[in-house]
């Protein structure tokens, strides 16, 4: 039996680097991985991109309407060999159903699934995929990073043209206009004016 892991961390905590390292480790031991990314994320142009400078193409993308278990089985068959591990980048963008399918890949098909993603959006609300992962994953592991103040960052504040904003759509991929800064709860509270 495999397990479903949710390795969560604030933005810019090194999740993509960690995913690429795991892929490297598996392959170095003669095992194979598949990397999948929800199609909603257009950052990196269907690659997993680490801020440290590494990148690697995903093996397949998944649309919100598709079945992850079916798609993974099709990919496995296309490679002609058993895949030893499924890695999910930006897993918060999976649907809740796709997380249940990931659980079935682990528990019924016996393939470990390592899902990397953030817990919450810029308003501290969970994404459908991350909520479901937090509910059912076998193991919840945190990738830590620091806030500008030195404490552990947990929340993902959004900036628009450099200014913190607290309204807008849940999903806004970072780019030229929109950026994110991961903050500790104290610093996040200070930005929204909650100090007492």
> Quick check: 17 binds a copy of itself (CB under 8 A)?
yes
> Quick check: 93 binds a copy of itself (CB under 8 A)?
no
Mind spelling out the 3-state secondary structure of 125-172?
Answer: CECHHHHHHHHHCCEEEECCCECCCCCECCEEEEEECCEEECCCCCCC
> Quick check: 54 binds a copy of itself (CB under 8 A)?
yes
* Residue 90 a catalytic site member: yes
- In the DSSP assignment, the letter for residue 43 is T
Residue 9 three-state SS: coil
Q: Which candidate in 27, 66, 90, 141 is catalytic?
A: 90
Contact of 27 with 34, CB cutoff 8 Å: no
Selection from 143, 85, 116, 119 nearest residue 6 by Cα: 116
Contact with a copy of itself (CB under 8 A): which of 66, 97, 142, 174? 142
Catalog residues that contact a copy of itself under the rule CB under 8 A: 1, 12-14, 17-18, 20-22, 24-26, 28-31, 51-54, 84, 103-104, 107-108, 119-120, 124-126, 130-131, 134-136, 138, 140, 142, 145-148, 150-152, 154-155, 185-186, 189, 194-196
The catalytic residues are 90
């Amino acid at each position: 039996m495999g397990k479903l892991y949710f390795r969560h961390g604030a933005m810019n905590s090194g999740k993509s680097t960690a995913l690429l390292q795991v892929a490297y480790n598996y392959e170095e031991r003669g095992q194979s991985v598949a990397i999948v990314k929800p199609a909603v994320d257009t950052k990196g142009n269907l690659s997993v991109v680490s801020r440290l400078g590494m990148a690697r193409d995903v093996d397949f993308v998944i649309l919100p309407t598709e079945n992850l278990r079916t798609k993974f089985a099709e990919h496995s068959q296309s490679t002609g060999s058993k895949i030893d591990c499924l890695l999910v980048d930006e897993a918060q963008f999976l649907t809740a159903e796709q997380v249940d399918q990931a659980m079935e890949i682990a528990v019924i098909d016996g393939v470990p699934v390592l899902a990397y993603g953030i817990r919450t959006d810029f308003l501290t609300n969970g994404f459908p995929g991350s909520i479901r992962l937090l509910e059912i994953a076998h193991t919840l592991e945190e990738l830590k990073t620091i806030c500008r103040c030195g404490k552990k960052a947990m929340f993902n504040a959004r900036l628009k043209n450099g200014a913190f904003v607290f309204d807008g759509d849940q999903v806004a991929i970072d780019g030229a206009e929109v950026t994110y800064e991961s903050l500790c709860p104290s610093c996040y509270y200070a930005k929204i004016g909650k100090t007492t």
